């Protein structure tokens, strides 16, 4: 996944302005970046440094997550035509780039790097020899195979050009400037008016004037919609890691969500409950952390008598039987995860109903869904998702509550605050497990999804091999790996005898156990963290907060980069 942004302005602006916008997209990719502003072209490897250098009224910028071609300055965007006049930034994948490259090379084009994106600059250069830009762009839709959101500037021209197929692209207007970006966060602090590109549309943009066209060059009428500026998206300020800051934001995020379900999202909430009731089958589709939240949701809903299934989005088509009576609920923080989008396309193709629980408003997943609830977690910058998981889980708990699951959710924010106050004890566990190479986290029922989520957080931030599993599965193989001193975190809900017996099983084989429980009787166990809450599902959410803190402190004690773990971008399946 990469991030792109362009600004066309009535007045001159500096690269600092452009890079500040780009910085807001850094979570989409961060191995290199670059921009073209006026006559200045800049490229660099590494994270975005917002520094001055160049001025102009038209600028495009790109933050990269390498897929085709290594991390290097020459592979960083913008890519230029042979004469250097055309600059292109691209998010997506051009599948037929090798064939196009060969064809362009035969015509004498020289390539500076190895990326798939570079062919776009040369195709445009070639096209402009034979016709004007709108015709060239219309032609590109015919020539390019793959996914793309592209911004183009041409030296000496006042227009910026933008085009899209299957990669997100949104245009914002306000204050004498037009912005085009991979997502609305790029400019959500500067304007509250935006419009989305649909597939196979392009736009010609000049300061605060913009015209949309379809792929044949026929004008397309569009109306801007208004969105609420920054209200839910501004991250907490201050220094330190985003991960810790975002964990600390969880109580307010949950308060915001609970409030909205009774107010501004009430109608949508009622509509979703109605949709679930009317559907013969309910299937969740999601990936990674969102998948673990869906699993927790399945647990809550089953307890409330609602039959449902949770599928990893990338496996959706292999395991789901979708028909017009099936409701597919996508869970996605970003709303841009390609596996989720593919699952929804598949479900839509089978006539299924689609709803979504997302964090990023107006995202692709939201726009593919008949009905959406926003989890309102606010902008999540750290690659390791934390507050989004908690908000997703709370929303699912609230849905289950409407079907009869008995829970008082009003005290969840305060209970999360109580867990945050236990940081010293959680840090002590973290420092101890950080010394190990392998680690197991066990749970059952309510705590099984939390065990998996905790393991994922530890893996991606600490690079320790962690396995989150059902306690019941230990005896079917994994027990063979438990030896003297193996750390095992056991998540014990209430007095569940089965998970208590799993804990004793691993202890009997020498495991060093750390217990996280809401069972007061276990409080006195060695290395136990007790969380005061009843047997009403909330322990799952609170244990997840404890797991997030353990993961954070383990990674911090190892000096890991935390906010940008190696090999991971925030929504990993979209370039």
Phi and psi dihedrals of 284, rounded to 5? Answer: -90, 140
Q: How far is the CB of 438 from ligand AGP (least distance, A)?
A: 20
Residue nearer to ligand AGP on the CB measure, 391 or 513? 391
Q: How far is the CB of 573 from ligand AGP (least distance, A)?
A: 7
Residue nearer to ligand AGP on the CB measure, 337 or 513? 337
Compute the half-sphere exposure of residue 539: CA atoms within 13 Å on the CB side of its CA.
Answer: 26
Q: How far is the CB of 333 from ligand AGP (least distance, A)?
A: 4
Going by C-alpha positions, the residue among 151, 245, 149 that lies closest to residue 199 is 149
Residue nearer to ligand AGP on the CB measure, 182 or 502? 182
Interacting residues toward ligand AGP by CB under 6 A: 287-290, 332-334, 337, 340, 383-385, 460, 570-572
Reduce the secondary structure of 478-521 to three states and give it as a string.
Answer: HHHHCCCCCEEEEEECCCCHHHHHHHHHHHHCCCEEEEEECCHH
Going by C-alpha positions, the residue among 397, 395, 394, 403 that lies closest to residue 268 is 395
> Which residue carries 């006539």 as its tokens?
351
Q: How far is the CB of 290 from ligand AGP (least distance, A)?
A: 4
Q: Which helix (H) or strand (E) holds 45?
A: strand 40-45
Residue nearer to ligand AGP on the CB measure, 405 or 552? 552
Q: How far is the CB of 284 from ligand AGP (least distance, A)?
A: 12
On whether the CB atoms of residues 197 and 170 are closer than 8 A, the answer is yes
Please tell me whether the peptide bond between 219 and the residue prior to it is cis, using omega within 30 degrees of 0: no
Residue nearer to ligand AGP on the CB measure, 126 or 339? 339
Q: How far is the CB of 391 from ligand AGP (least distance, A)?
A: 11
> Coil, strand, or helix at residue 569?
coil
DSSP code for 338: H
Q: Which residues contact 153 (CB under 8 A, 6 or more apart)?
A: 6, 36, 58, 59, 60, 86, 87, 159, 160, 161
Residue nearer to ligand AGP on the CB measure, 287 or 420? 287
Which residue number is nearest to ligand AGP in terms of Cβ?
288
On whether the CB atoms of residues 362 and 266 are closer than 8 A, the answer is no
CA dist 81 → 18, 93, 111, 124 (Å): 22, 19, 8, 8
Residue nearer to ligand AGP on the CB measure, 192 or 563? 563
Q: What does the alpha-carbon distance between residue 196 and residue 402 come to, in Å, rounded to a whole number?
A: 34
Angle ∠(128,131,135) on CA atoms, nearest 5: 95
Residue nearer to ligand AGP on the CB measure, 101 or 242? 242
Which residues are tagged catalytic?
2, 570
Q: How far is the CB of 184 from ligand AGP (least distance, A)?
A: 15
Q: How far is the CB of 136 from ligand AGP (least distance, A)?
A: 34
Q: What does the alpha-carbon distance between residue 511 and residue 157 come to, in Å, rounded to a whole number?
A: 68
Compute the half-sphere exposure of residue 210: CA atoms within 13 Å on the CB side of its CA.
Answer: 34
Q: What does the alpha-carbon distance between residue 389 and residue 452 come to, in Å, rounded to a whole number?
A: 12
């Amino acid at each position: 996944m990469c991030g792109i942004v362009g600004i066309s302005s009535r007045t001159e602006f500096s690269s600092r302005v452009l890079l500040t916008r780009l910085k807001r997209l850094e979570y989409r990719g961060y191995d290199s970046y670059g921009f073209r502003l006026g006559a200045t072209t800049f490229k660099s490897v590494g994270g975005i440094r917002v520094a001055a250098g160049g001025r102009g009224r038209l600028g495009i910028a790109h933050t990269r997550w390498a897929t085709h071609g290594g991390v290097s300055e020459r592979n960083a965007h913008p890519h230029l035509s042979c004469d250097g006049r055309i600059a292109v930034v691209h998010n997506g994948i051009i599948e037929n780039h090798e064939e196009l490259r060969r064809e362009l090379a035969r015509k004498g084009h020289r390539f500076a790097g190895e990326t798939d994106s570079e062919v776009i600059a040369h195709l445009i250069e070639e096209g402009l020899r034979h016709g004007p830009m709108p015709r060239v762009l219309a032609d590109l839709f015919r020539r390019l195979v793959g996914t793309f959101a592209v911004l183009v500037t041409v030296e000496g021209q006042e227009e910026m050009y933008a085009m899209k197929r299957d990669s997100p692209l949104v245009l914002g207007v306000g204050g004498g400037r037009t912005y085009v970006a991979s997502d609305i966060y790029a400019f959500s602090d500067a304007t509250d008016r935006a419009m989305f590109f649909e597939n196979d549309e392009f736009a010609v943009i000049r300061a605060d004037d913009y015209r949309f066209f379809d792929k044949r060059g026929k004008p397309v009428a569009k109306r801007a919609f208004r969105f609420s500026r920054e209200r839910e998206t501004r991250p907490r300020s201050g220094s330190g890691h985003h991960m810790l800051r975002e964990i600390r934001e969880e109580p307010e995020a949950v308060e915001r969500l609970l409030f909205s379900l009774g107010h501004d999202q009430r109608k949508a909430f009622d509509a979703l409950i109605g949709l679930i009731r009317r559907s013969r089958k309910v299937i969740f589709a999601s990936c990674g952390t969102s998948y673990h939240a869906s699993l927790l949701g399945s647990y809550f809903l089953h307890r409330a008598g609602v039959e449902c299934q949770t599928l990893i989005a990338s496996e959706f088509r292999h395991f789901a039987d979708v028909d017009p009576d099936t409701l597919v609920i996508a869970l996605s923080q970003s709303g841009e995860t390609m596996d989720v989008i593919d699952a929804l396309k598949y479900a839509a193709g089978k006539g299924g109903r689609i709803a979504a629980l997302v964090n990023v408003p107006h995202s692709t997943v939201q726009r593919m869904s008949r009905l959406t609830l926003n989890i309102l977690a606010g902008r999540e910058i750290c690659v390791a998702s934390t507050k989004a998981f908690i908000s997703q889980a709370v929303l699912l708990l609230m849905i289950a509550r409407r079907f009869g699951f008995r829970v008082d959710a009003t005290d969840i924010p305060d209970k999360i605050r109580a867990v945050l106050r236990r940081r010293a004890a959680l840090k002590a566990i973290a420092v101890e497990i950080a010394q190990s190479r392998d680690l197991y986290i066990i749970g059952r029922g309510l705590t099984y999804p939390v065990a998996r989520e905790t393991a994922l957080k530890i893996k991606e931030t600490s690079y320790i091999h962690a396995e989150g599993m059902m306690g019941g599965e230990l005896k079917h193989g994994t027990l063979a790996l438990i030896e003297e001193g193996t750390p095992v975190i056991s998540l014990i809900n209430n007095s569940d005898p089965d998970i208590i017996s799993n804990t004793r099983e691993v202890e009997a084989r020498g495991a060093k156990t750390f217990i996280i429980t809401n069972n007061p009787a276990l409080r006195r166990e060695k290395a136990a963290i007790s969380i005061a809450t009843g047997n009403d599902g909330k322990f799952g959410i609170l244990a997840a907060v404890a797991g997030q803190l353990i993961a954070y402190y383990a990674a911090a004690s190892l000096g890991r980069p935390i906010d940008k773990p190696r090999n991971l971008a925030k929504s990993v399946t979209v370039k």
